[in-house]
A and B are shown apart, each in its own frame.
Chain A
Amino acid sequence: MFAPILLNAQPIEMADTMRSEGKIYVVVAILLVIFVGLIGYLVFLDRKITRIEKKLPEKKS
């Protein structure tokens, strides 16, 4: 990777146009939906396992 060395180098392209049109929020929204869904699934699994653990009879030692 090379840092811009020359001061008169062409401006580095980033997604400025798309950003100004607010399209970045679409990206964030999609990722958040996926992420919340996955976390929700983990929470569901976690609670399910907890329920089963509670159901197990105490160990007779």
Chain B
Amino acid sequence: MKTWLKVLAAILLLYTIIAGFLFEVPRLNIVNETIRALYFHVPMWFGMVVLFLISTIHSVQYLRNPSFERDTYAVEFANTGLLLGLLGIFTGMIWANYTWGSPWHGDPKQNGAAISLLVYLAYFVLRGSVENEDQRARLSAVYNIFAFAAMIPLIFVIPRMTSSMHPGSGGNPGFNMYDLDSKMRLVFYPAVAGWILLGVWIATLRIRVRLINEKILNQENE
């Protein structure tokens, strides 16, 4: 990953933290100052989806052209995506506790997100259960594609169709309605970009470690 992208990630996130708390936000009932959680909780999910998408693309590429590298990319992007997803769920529970009244409201998006994470956790269980390297890579590549395909309706479609507490779902106005003067967008968009870049950075570190270990293993066998 190019160094300037890593520097950019750091700068964007520094900006997010500083501006996120010092800039003005709309004065809204119920959420009050916690609206600022938008700059942290929501980008976790954007980041997760992007990382899972990259992982799925590598899984598709693996099936067409099997290689250890592609399998490594697929699994480590899924790993880091899962990390962001878990952070998203926990931060959401904290936020929900103080605005909706309880950490788990049974909100469709909460449930959909939790199910998606379970589906991805099963991906890692699957990987752990197969001994043969090639078989493992192939099975998990196929499962990964299904997991991503399942996540889309769970997180994006179903919540919008049923009654939900999340903004933008179930008849609730999206956040656009509250951010009328785009004050929040000024921080939100850079935040999303920054957190995604950070997620990619972490994934690439994990990938590099795996590839190094594989190289060492291969050289020991020569």
Contacts and interface: CB of A to CB of B under 8 A. Distances in A.
Nearest to B215: A56
Contacts of A2: 29-30
B17 A1 contact: no
Interface string B185-218: 0000000000000000110010011001001100
Chain A, interface size category, equals: 20 to 34
Contacts of A4: 27-29
A46 B31 CA distance: 39
B125 to A, nearest CB: 27
A49 B33 contact: no
B172 interface: yes
A25 B106 CA distance: 36
21 contacts: A1-B30, A2-B29, A3-B173, A3-B177, A3-B178, A13-B32, A15-B33, A27-B21, A28-B17, A28-B18, A28-B21, A28-B22, A31-B21, A39-B10, A42-B6, A42-B202, A42-B205, A46-B205, A49-B205, A56-B216, A59-B215
Interface of A: 1-4, 12-15, 24, 27-28, 31-32, 35, 39, 42-43, 45-46, 49, 52-53, 56-57, 59-60
Given A4-B27, A12-B27, A12-B29, 20 more contacts: A1-B29, A1-B99, A1-B178, A2-B30, A3-B177, A4-B29, A12-B28, A12-B32, A13-B32, A27-B21, A28-B17, A28-B18, A35-B14, A39-B10, A42-B205, A43-B6, A45-B205, A46-B205, A49-B208, A56-B219
